[in-house]
Amino acid sequence: MAFDLPRHDWTRDDIRALYTAPLDTLVGQALAVKQVNWPDGALQKSQLLSIKTGGCAEDCGYCSQSAHFDTGVTAEKLMPLDEVVAAAKRAKAGGADRFCMGAGWRSLKDRDVPKVAAMISAVKAEGLETCVTLGMLEDGQAEALKEAGLDYYNHNLDTSPEYYGSVVTTRTYDDRLDTLSKAREAGVKLCVGGILGMGEGREDRIGLIHELSKLTPHPESVPINMLVPIEGTPLGDSPPISVTEMARAIATCRIVFPKSWVRLSAGREGMSEGEQALLLLAGANSIFVGDRLLTTDNPGEDRDGALLEAVGFQTAGHEEMEKGPHREKQTLIDAR
């Protein structure tokens, strides 16, 4: 297998064979792929800010911001530009290299494009990678965001096509793919992944990865989330998924998407240090930092510092990491 060349002919059977392999075999292969494409002992810190919270017209069964559910989240207006810039500066001071802005919208309205574009430009001026998640896109909007300096558009597929209707009914899988196509055509990189633990089966997790593998080119960023159950949502009583299942998904993504970021996203707050270390070993090379994600808790600076010290990882920026392995460092280690 060529560990450094993305494949675009993955079948569902291929991905199932990877996903269900003995865990040591799977993680070992993922680690081999990672070492060919990414520097050892390094990860990127990303931070996420909710720039417009609550009142979303979608009925995503996991989401605290849906207007369909009583979750205690109050609908708010779009944040002022100066507050977004201040948050970006704090994120950078805390070591973040990437700043993602999320809005609880079904779709981006043309009237809000200039405001969001100003945020993107201001965050970019702080020296951070930029990412937004704003719902569905209409024609011309992605181009305007790209012109403002947008690096990534996040729009997750969530789960397999077969299980999708059990999670969301107000937009279709094809709606999601259409938005991804609009972002791609505008020259914006894609951040596309899913959520594990929504009551889906293993075959649905395999199906999600297969759908992601069919995107050409592959998403440059693949976030893997563990469901954080929210009281008041239809999925609020979902049984927890195991960390070893998360490890299988992350390791499979590392193999299938050798050049892509695999981001360990929501769910870290409930994991032990050892469980998070397993997921980094499985191939994740980016984490979300800060006390909050959009509306859920996230490990704070102290816990993240302890995790990185325990695994011996250093924080690195995207430009350094995307250069690939640090050959001189690896040769030195091999020679000892």
Q: Where are the alpha helices (DSSP H) in the chain?
A: 12-19, 23-37, 81-93, 113-125, 141-148, 161-164, 173-185, 202-213, 243-256, 273-281, 301-311, 318-322, 327-334
Task: Identify the active-site residue in 100, 171, 176, 254.
Answer: 100
Q: How far apart are alpha carbons 97 and 75 in whole angstroms?
A: 29
Could you check whether the bond before residue 217 is cis, i.e. omega within 30 degrees of 0?
A: yes
Task: Identify the active-site residue in 106, 205, 254, 263.
Answer: 263
Number of Cβ within a 10 Å radius of residue 86: 12
Nearest to 107 by CA among 159, 178, 47: 178
Task: Identify the active-site residue in 16, 60, 205, 268.
Answer: 60
60 included as an active-site residue: yes
Task: Identify the active-site residue in 16, 98, 106, 131.
Answer: 131
Handedness of CA 196, 201, 206, 208 (dihedral sign): negative
Q: How far apart are alpha carbons 276 and 262 in whole angstroms?
A: 14
Task: Identify the active-site residue in 56, 106, 171, 253.
Answer: 56
Task: Identify the active-site residue in 16, 63, 171, 254.
Answer: 63
253 included as an active-site residue: no
For 102-117, b/e burial (b = at least 16 CB within 10 A) is bbbbbebeeeebeebb
* 3 state SS of 23: helix
Dihedral, CA atoms, 111, 176, 212, 292, nearest 10 degrees?
A: 60
Nearest to 322 by CA among 32, 39, 109: 39
| DSSP string computed for 43-56 | EEEEEEEEEE-S-B
Task: Identify the active-site residue in 16, 171, 176, 191.
Answer: 191
Provide the annotated active-site residues. 56, 60, 63, 100, 131, 191, 263
